[in-house]
Each structure stands twice: as C-alpha cells, then as structure tokens.
C-alpha cells in the first residue's frame, strides 16, 4: 500500500515558525510602544506590571510575577518553598530538565514518582509511595495539557502538610473540575517558550494566591532586592530572572489570543479523536471526567502487540508523509539522564545527591512500570492553533493508511 501525499496541506502548520503561530500587527504595535518609551527594564516600565495583573486574572490567582523562562519559573517556585539541602521534592519521571535543575540548584533532591501509563501524569498513589520524612514539596506536571487528578493529590498534600507546585508549561487554561490548573496548588508555573500555547520565544510566569510565597517569588526574580521597601536590601541569595519590557509587550498581545489558541487546539483535537478512535491498535488521549485537556501536543497510545514495530514503525511512516511526530516523547526516563544518573552537578561533589537517602536514588525499573510502558507506547503528534479541518483530515488519513500498512 502506498501513501498518497496531499500537497495542498503540506507542510503542516508548525509552532516553530509563523505558519503555526498567531503573531500579527498587535505584537508589532506593542513592541513599538515599548521602544517609544525608551524604557526596556521591568523595574522602571509598565508593560511587565500590566502583564502580571492580566495574567493573574486569567489564571484565577491573586498574584503573578513574570520571569525569563519556564525553567526560571520553576526555579523561582522551588526557591519560594525554600528547601533545606538534601530535602526531597517529589516530581514526575517524565519531565523536562528545567523542572529538575530547579530542584537541584536549590540543593534539594528530586524524588521520582511513577506515572499513569495512559495519561502520562503522576497520581496520588504514585506520589504517596515516595513520601518520606525528608519530603519538602510535591511538583506535578500537567503533561501535554492533560490535567493531573488534583483532588486526590491535594488531599494527600494536605494530609502531609506539603506544598504543591504545578508545572503548567504545557497546560494553559487546562481545567480540573472547573478550576484552571496553576490555581489549584500553592504555586503555578508557566512557560512562554517558542512551542507553547502562547509564546515570546522564551519567558515564564509564576502565580500564587499565597501572599508569602508570592512575595518570596517576587524577591527571588529580582536578586532578592526589596523594591518598594522602606529599607531595601538583598535579603537572600537569588539571581536576576526578570522579564524585560519588550518580552512583556509581546506576552500581553499573545495573552489576548490565548482563548482563541486554546479553543482552536481543542476543536481540532476533538475532530482527530472522532476520526481515528476506531483505528485498531491505537488509543486516543485518555482524559479523566471533569478535566479539560488543552492539547499542547496530541498523543497516541500505540499497542505494539497489534501494530508491528509500535511507535517507531508507525512514526517512521507518518514522518515520511510530513507528520513530524515523536515516538517515546523523551527517549528515556528523567532519572536516566546523565546529570541525574552520574550526579553531574557542582564540580565533583555530587551535591545534593551526596545528602540523599538511598531510597531516593533507587531508580530500579520495577519501581516505574507506568513510566516505561508510557514511553514505549506513546507517539506524540505536533499540534497548533493554526490547524484547520483539512490538516486534521490529512493526519487522520495518514494514520489510518500507515496502520493499515503495518497490520496488513
């Protein structure tokens, strides 16, 4: 069976260039306004302040602070929790290094929880197995835009008096039981990196309704200098993670387009689901009741017992037809990365791993069945707010044809 290419829809819109992004005159006008003021630093300008006010409203939080990246947002959140060296922060085994470096730079130890192999998210059950006397906080990631089951996680956190950090980098306006993610835990972290729901190239925002955590995050972003205080000083060790006014101006223009971007992604994702949900060997995204998935990416679960070669074979055929998917998403669990596996951190010290309890460094495969199953079976499709029905129809037909070729 040969796969026919419909050149009228190729290449597919990509979030890596203008074909898949919403940039227009609004961003240009916003940047021009900033330049006309001559003030590009957020300590003197007004655009970053306005962004923070608007972002907090969107994310149903009392406070928001803009920073330089999603990674710096996560670092800021961990710093606000203020762990002691060697304390543990429970996180997911399928995550970006930005989440792990945030923990390590604050001298804490990442304690990895297994995931549900169908949602790719941590659960209260997998988190509870990791709680120890050294646990300082829980960091959950709403992977691909699909919310974790937060009721159970928050109940567990309350039981053990642990703060919860939500990594919402891939989950703008995702909801769990009517609440926007980022507003459920103690701190929410967002990324404005190139491929996210809205983008400034690089950038991040932290949100919280806890005034003490919000204050500490503001300080951490600003070298712990007490701007506006009667007698300001550098109160503790902290970097400069400020967002500049040009970036904030673009973010403001993008924020006004967020509802469109999210709605468009959901509509086209639902269209694809309806078109391929009967394809043998394929399971479309698993979404728990009461959750709103906002589709940073669209993930397929591929059953290798039915589709010979599994994700690799299917991904190869899709790529040949211009659907540039990612089998496995990340090639290995986060704890197998060299920085974690070989403790490559600060010189040759191994810090903070040299302070860890042995069980925190136990990465035995049998402890992570969900993780290894998920990575073996997940095929991540690119997604964009610029997709139209014709793009979805092409992707659906390509999937059907590829699966038919493999199982025939």
Q: pLDDT at residue 4 above 90?
A: no
Q: pLDDT at residue 331 above 60?
A: yes
Phi, psi of 221 (to 5 degrees): -65, -25
Q: pLDDT at residue 5 above 60?
A: no
Is 6 domain-assigned? no
Q: How many domains does the chain have?
A: 1
The strand order across the sheet containing 204-208 reads: 63-67, 204-208, 187-191, 164-167, 135-141, 88-92, 109-113
Residue 158 is among the residues annotated as catalytic for this protein: no
- pTM, entire model: 0.96
CATH of the domain at 213: 3.40.640.10
What pLDDT shows up at residue 69?
A: 98
Is 66 domain-assigned? yes
Q: pLDDT at residue 34 above 90?
A: yes
Is 262 domain-assigned? no
Rounded alpha-carbon distances, angstroms, from residue 378 to 12, 286, 314: 21, 12, 11
Q: pLDDT at residue 16 above 60?
A: yes
Of the pLDDT bands very low, low, confident and very high (cuts 50, 70, 90), residue 408 is confident
Q: What is the mean pLDDT of residues 306-320?
A: 97
Is 402 domain-assigned? no
Q: What is the pLDDT of residues 79-116, one digit of tens each?
A: 999 999 999 999 999 999 999 999 999 999 999 999 99
Is 58 domain-assigned? yes
What pLDDT shows up at residue 344?
A: 96
What pLDDT shows up at residue 8?
A: 75
Q: What percent of the chain has pLDDT over 70?
A: 98
What pLDDT shows up at residue 298?
A: 98
> Catalytic pick from 44, 158, 159, 196?
196
Is 78 domain-assigned? yes
Is 240 domain-assigned? yes
Domain span at 160: 25-113+121-257
Residue 360 near residue 132 (C-beta atoms within 8 A)? yes
Of the pLDDT bands very low, low, confident and very high (cuts 50, 70, 90), residue 7 is low
What pLDDT shows up at residue 374?
A: 97
Q: What is the pLDDT of residues 206-230, one digit of tens each?
A: 999 999 999 999 999 999 999 999 9
What pLDDT shows up at residue 1?
A: 40
Q: How far apart are CA 120 and CA 324, in angstroms?
A: 21
Of 5 and 181, more confident: 181
What pLDDT shows up at residue 9?
A: 84
CA dihedral 182, 183, 187, 192 (to 10 degrees): 30
Is 130 domain-assigned? yes
Give the contacts of 44 (CB within 8 A, at least 6 positions apart). Answer: none
What pLDDT shows up at residue 2?
A: 45
């Amino acid at each position: 069976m040969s796969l026919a290419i419909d050149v009228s829809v190729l290449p597919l819109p990509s979030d890596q260039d203008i074909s898949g992004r919403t940039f227009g005159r609004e961003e240009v006008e916003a940047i021009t306004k900033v330049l006309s003021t001559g003030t590009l630093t957020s300590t003197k300008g007004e655009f970053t302040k306005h962004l923070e006010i608007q972002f907090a409203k969107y994310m149903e939080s009392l406070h928001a602070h803009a920073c330089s990246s999603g990674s710096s947002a996560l670092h800021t959140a961990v710093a606000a929790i203020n762990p002691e060296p060697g304390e543990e922060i429970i996180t997911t085994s399928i995550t970006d290094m930005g989440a792990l470096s945030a923990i390590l730079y604050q001298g804490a130890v990442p304690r990895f929880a297994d995931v549900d192999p169908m949602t790719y998210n941590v659960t209260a059950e997998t988190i509870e197995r990791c709680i120890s006397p050294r646990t300082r906080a829980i960091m959950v990631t709403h992977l691909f835009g699909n919310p974790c089951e937060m009721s159970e996680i928050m109940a567990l956190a309350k039981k053990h008096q642990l703060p919860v950090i939500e990594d919402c980098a891939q989950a703008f306006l995702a909801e769990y039981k009517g609440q926007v993610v980022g507003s459920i835990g103690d701190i929410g972290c967002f990324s404005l990196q190139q491929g996210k729901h809205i983008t400034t190239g690089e950038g991040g925002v932290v949100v919280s309704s806890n005034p003490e955590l919000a204050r500490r995050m503001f300080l951490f972003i600003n070298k712990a200098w007490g701007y506006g205080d009667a007698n300001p000083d550098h109160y503790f060790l902290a970097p400069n993670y400020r967002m500049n006014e040009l970036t904030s101006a673009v973010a403001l223009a993008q924020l006004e387009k967020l509802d469109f971007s999210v709605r468009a992604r959901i509509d086209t994702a639902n269209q694809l689901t309806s078109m391929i949900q009967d394809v043998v060997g394929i399971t479309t995204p698993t979404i728990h009741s009461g959750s709103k998935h906002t589709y940073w990416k669209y993930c397929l679960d591929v059953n290798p017992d039915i589709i010979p070669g599994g994700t690799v074979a299917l991904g190869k055929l899709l790529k040949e037809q211009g659907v540039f998917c990612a089998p496995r998403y990340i090639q290995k669990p986060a704890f197998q990365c060299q920085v974690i596996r070989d403790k490559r951190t600060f010189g040759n010290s191994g810090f903070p791993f040299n302070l860890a309890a042995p069980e925190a460094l136990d990465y035995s495969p049998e402890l992570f069945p969900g993780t290894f199953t998920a990575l073996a079976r997940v095929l991540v499709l690119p997604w964009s707010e610029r997709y139209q029905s014709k793009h979805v129809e092409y992707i659906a037909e390509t999937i059907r044809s590829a699966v038919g070729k493999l199982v025939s």
